[in-house]
Structure formats: structure tokens, C-alpha cells
Amino acid sequence: METHRQIQQLKEEINEHNIRYYVHDDPSISDGEYDILLRKLEKLEKENPSLITADSPTQRVGAPPLSEFDSVNHRLPMLSLSNAMNEEEVIEWNSQVEKGLGFENIEFIAEPKLDGLAVELVYENGIFIKGSTRGDGVTGEDITQNLKTIRAIPLRISEDKNPPPLLEVRGEVFMVRKDFTTLNEKRTKSGNPPFANPRNCAAGSLRQLDSGITARRPLRIYVYAPGVIEGLSFQSQSEFLNTLPSWGFPVNPHIKKGKGIDFLLDFYRKGESLRNGLAYDIDGIVFKVDSFSHQEELGVRSRSPRWAIAGKLKTQQVTTMVLDIEASLGRTGAVTPVAKLKPVEVGGVTVSNATLHNQDEIDRKDVRIGDTVLIQRAGEVIPEVVKAIKEKRPKNTKPYILPDTCPVCEQKVYRPEGEVVARCQNLNCPAQVKGRIEHFISKGCMDIDGFGTKLVDQLVESGMVKNIADIYTLTPKQIAGMDRMGEKSAQNIIVGIQSSKNTTMARFVHALGIRNVGEHAAKVLEKYFGGNLDKLRKAGIEELTSIFEIGEIMAESIHEFFQDEDHQKIVDACLESGIKFQEVEVATPSEFTGKTFVFTGSLEKFSRKNAQVMVEKLGARASGSVSSKTDYLVAGPGAGSKLKKAEELGITILSENEFLEKIS
């Protein structure tokens, strides 16, 4: 019992020091003294292995390497944010929020937007049990062991802090620039290549299959948002943020609360000087409506909330020279001009290529080979040419015109009327075939393990694979005959191909590479059609546009794809090879099928999330705004502008009890 008590006291003492250091920035012991305490605990646990628990600070050193990450479904989607690129767009967003809530001078929270990797931490009865990446917002990667190595993340919340039975928190893992520089210096000395920037280093560290590597990286975290919380409720974002430090979570000290547009613009204008004074990278300011009930009333779009926006800070720009302009071909046949640049560093990343988007953009900016140009990383990710500095233009330069033939197959390219992108129409173009196959086998699609780009190149160039359906005709002997492919590797790929046949309709539809249809839209289609691909293939544009989140352009792309004879043959061949879809829960046909509900006010009988689930099961949909297409408005206490608009449009208005009675 004495040893057990010693171990418990050491664990509590070390955890308290972690909180003092990472949460309150007020350490009471030196790093050396901290290491002595940790070694003492390690010694006692080594002598008494039965007393080692998962929440011990010694368990942060890393677990045995994984072969791959498992997937984790978020109980509540981790939404991305819409961007405001300037003050005018911040003002416009505030106006939309005021219009949605029906009053002015709203309370907001302003938070620095960290340039790191978003994660979710899950606690049950105060014990950290699961950690994951954001992923696509619905499904992330299980990186629990890697997150455990970050000392700023509590492995256990003390019982005396009254943690709820289920607690999900979201945060951003990042690295301060000083630690990043030190890490790169060590890598250079040991002969390893340096990391490009702190964000890439942080993201790469969390995706290590060997958490022992992650443990050696100086990662930090700031927590900023709730997921699902059971057994405890919060009224506002500020109340939630104020509670986090008492549970041992670090919160950014620069978060502020204020009212109205004056507060938003003042904080946004100070963002640049704030960024320059921080020890870590930020790329904007996040503004959120503070009240959770107001957030619910405003609702969400398909992938972003209406109650929050990211005010982007001025992008870092540099000048360099255009050495050449080349036409690049994408998997959809889009021909894109790419500027080949004299390498230059932008925001910690060395850039040698930048997009020029299309011929219209080249003409508008008048970019030529030999020009000195101003470039920036658009959205902090994709480098783009902002403008040509014509005062420095060499003599005898000529305007650049995209070739009228495909840069790969040399067939004529076509630019549809009303579109800015020119496309290669040859579906058998090798570059398109390779691109479609690489997309088809990728992780978010059919996820065929071991099927790399080099193998795709060889199979297409040899003529063995002409389309995605040909993948399912391959034999071990054919694959083993490729360069650097042995019998064992070939057999493993065949196993991966066979395993991919047991999939979901959403994965398959996404893998087909239909223009404008991404992973999220594929899941929407799967849910609407109940996993029945035949119904989707026969659907007309009118039916497709009636589906929530499927717009006219996307509907036309879907309809055109499945009407094309070549595509029909390829899809049929894939299905004939044995591809089967997992069952999906189908909405129950009812009088509400195809109807639209809007929920407003402070709902007391159920949450908006539960309401959405209820109506979707009946084949209806929940919308965040009232329009002439709205069939029912369900109004709780405090309903405002949406109720007034519904009355003006003559929409059926229900109380919560009337809604429950009606759908039952």
C-alpha cells in the first residue's frame, strides 16, 4: 500500500506541474527537477508493473509502432470555417448573423487561428481514451498513442474537478518557432533533411506510426471547442473556455470577448501586430457567436457553421522570376497553366511552382515568361501569382497562350461556353487515365493498399489497365512482372484489390471521379438513395436537385456521368467483378418525404441535432433558413425573425409538442 500511495502522489505531483507549465505558464520547478520526479516514478513502476495505469505520465513515451491508423467517426462533425478575406467580408458576416438572430450588438468571441493540426480528445469519466485527427470532418484517424506523448494534454482529469461522464474537446496541435528551429538544427547535424515549416512538422509528427518518434517532438496544444458533452451543459463559448483550465487544458491567453461590429473590426485590425508578437504561427482570427443557443439558431451549412468565420490575415508575399509556363493536365482533363519559378521562400516554404489558374487569369494579369512576379500562398497553401511587375519586364516578351492541344496526348482541347477551363476530351489520354486510377485507389475512395503511383504508371503504359474496371481483372503474375514487383508484393496487392470489393456506395461514387462530387456529396447521395446505386444511376436532374446539399451544377455532373455510355460500361464492369455495397439505413417513407423543416428559438424538448436526425429518418430534411420552399417551421421559446418570415410566407408553424405529435 505504501508503494501504491507513493506512485499515486508522484503521478498527481507530475500532472500538477504539467498544468502549471502548459496551462498557467507558471512553472514552480526546473526541468531537471521535473525529470528527477519522472525517473523516480518510472523506477517504482518498473519494480511494480501491476501498478502501472494508462493515465500515468510514464505512458507518454510512446507505444509499439502501428501498421496503420484506424478510423474514428466523430459523434459531432468537426466543421471547417468559411473565410473572410477583408474587413468588408467581416462586416457582411456580422450583418448575416444579425439578420439570422433578429437583433444587433451580438456578443462574440475572438480567437487567434493557429496554423497547426486540428484534433479531438475524448474523455470518459475523466480518463483520456481516444484522440483523432479532424480528417474529412466526419471521420478522422485514431492517433491516441501519439497524442498521449504531448505533456500539455491531461491523461486524467481529477475526480475533485468533477469531469462529466463523456467529454469531447477540440484543439490545435502546433509547435513554437524556437522549438522548430532547434529541432531542425539537430536534424541537419545528424544528416537528416530539415522540415519545411512548423505546421508540416506538427502534422507529420502526429501521423507517425511509431509514437516513440512523436514523443521526441516538442508539440503543444491549445483547446478551443467542445464536441459532445454528457452530464454537463454550457451556455456559451466563453463559459466553456473559462472551465477548460480547471480541467487541465491549455487555452490561448489572447482570446477576447466583446460586442458588435466595432469589437470584430478592432480585433481584426490588431491581428497583424498580434501575429508578429507571437512565438508561434497564426494565419487569421476566428470569430464566433458566444451564446450556444444563438449558435444553434443560426445553424450550419453543409461543411461550415453560420455562427463562426475565419478572418484571414494579410498573406505573405514575395517577388521572384517566371522561368517558364507549362500546361499541366489534371485527372478530369482540365488544362491548367503552371508558372515555373526561380525558387523562393514564402512563409517558411520554398516555392518553385505557382498556379496561373486559366487563360482568362493569364490575360487579366498579363503574366509572361521572364516576368518578375509577386506571389503568395493562397489560403496559406497553394502558391499563386498575384501580379506581374511590368516595370521589370524584359524586352521582347510575348503574351502566353495555352496550347490548343493536350500536353500529354496532343489531341484538341475544348473550352465549353461559359467555362474558364479548357479540357482534354480524350478519355483515353494516359495522364487522365492515370489520374482517375490514382484517385480510384486512394485512401478516401477504394483504399487499395500497396497500389502506388509507379505501379499505376507501368500498368497504364503497358496497356494492361485502360480504365478503373481493369484493376479487377489483374492477376498476381501480371503485377509481379512489373519493375520492382516481387511475387509477395503482387499477392498483397491482389489481396488489397479483393478487399476493396466490400465497400460502401459513398466510397465507390467518390472513387468514380464525377466532376464536382467529393467525399461529402457522395455520402449525401448514399444516404438519400439508401445505398442503392441503381436508383442514383436512374435519377433525373429534378430529383437530384431536390436533395439537400446537391445543387444544380452538381446534379448536372452526376446525370451526365451516368448517361454516358462509356461510363455505364465501366461501372457495370466494376459491379460484375464483385463489388458489393454495405447496407445503409433507408429513410422511412412518410407524408414528410421530401419536406423541409426549419427549427428556431430555444428548443427545450430536443436539440437541433436530434431534430435533424428525426426528420431525416422520415425522408425530410432540416434547413437553417426560411424560404418559400420551407414546409414547416418548428418554433421554441424566443423565436424571432425566422418566425416572422414564416408567418409572412404562410408556412405551417408548429410548437415542439405539435412537431413531436405530428411525426409520431
Catalytic (active-site) positions: 113
Rounded to whole angstroms, the Cα distance separating 521 from 537 reads 15
- Indicate the residue type of 301: R
| Nearest Cα residue to 258 out of 107, 125, 384, 389 | 107
Backbone φ and ψ for 337, nearest 5 degrees, come out as -75, 135
Instruction: Report how far apart, in Å, the C-alpha atoms of 108 and of each of 89, 309, 645 are.
Output: 16, 11, 25
Ranges of beta strands (E only) in 559-614 are 580-581, 596-600
Q: Which three cell numbers stand for residue 209?
A: 506510426
Residue of 526, 516, 519 lying closest to 616 (CA atoms) = 526
> Which residue type, as a one-letter code, is found at position 253?
P
User: Where would I find the H helices in 473-518?
Assistant: 476-480, 487-499, 505-511
Closest CA to 522 of 464, 581, 564, 574: 581
Buried b (16+ CB within 10 A) or exposed e, 446-478: bebebbeeebbbbbbeeebbebbbbbbebebeb
- Residue 447 is placed in which grid cell? 483504399
Degrees to nearest 5, angle at CA 317 with 312 and 323? 135
User: Residue 52: which of 167, 640, 43 has the closest Cα?
Assistant: 43
Phi, psi of 29 (to 5 degrees): -135, 165
Give per-residue burial for 148-166: e unless 16+ CB within 10 Å, then b: bbbbbbbbbbbeeeebbeb
How is residue 473 written as a grid cell?
481483372
Strands (E), 266-333: 282-289, 308-312, 317-329
**What does the H/E/C string look like for 34-103?**
HHHHHHHHHHHHHHCHHHCCCCCHHHHHCCCCCCCCCEEECCCCCCCCCEECCHHHHHHHHHHHHHHHCC
Cell of 486: 516481387
d(CA 571, CA 562): 9
Are 415 and 457 spatial neighbours (Cβ–Cβ below 8 Å)?
no
List C-alpha distances in Å: 90 to 155, 299, 305, 309, 323: 38, 18, 15, 8, 38
What secondary structure, in 3-state letters, does 176-241 show? Answer: CHHHHHHHHHHHHHCCCCCCCCHHHHHHHHHCCCCHHHHHCCCCEEEEEEEEEEECCCCCEHHHHH
For residue 628 the three cell numbers come to 418559400
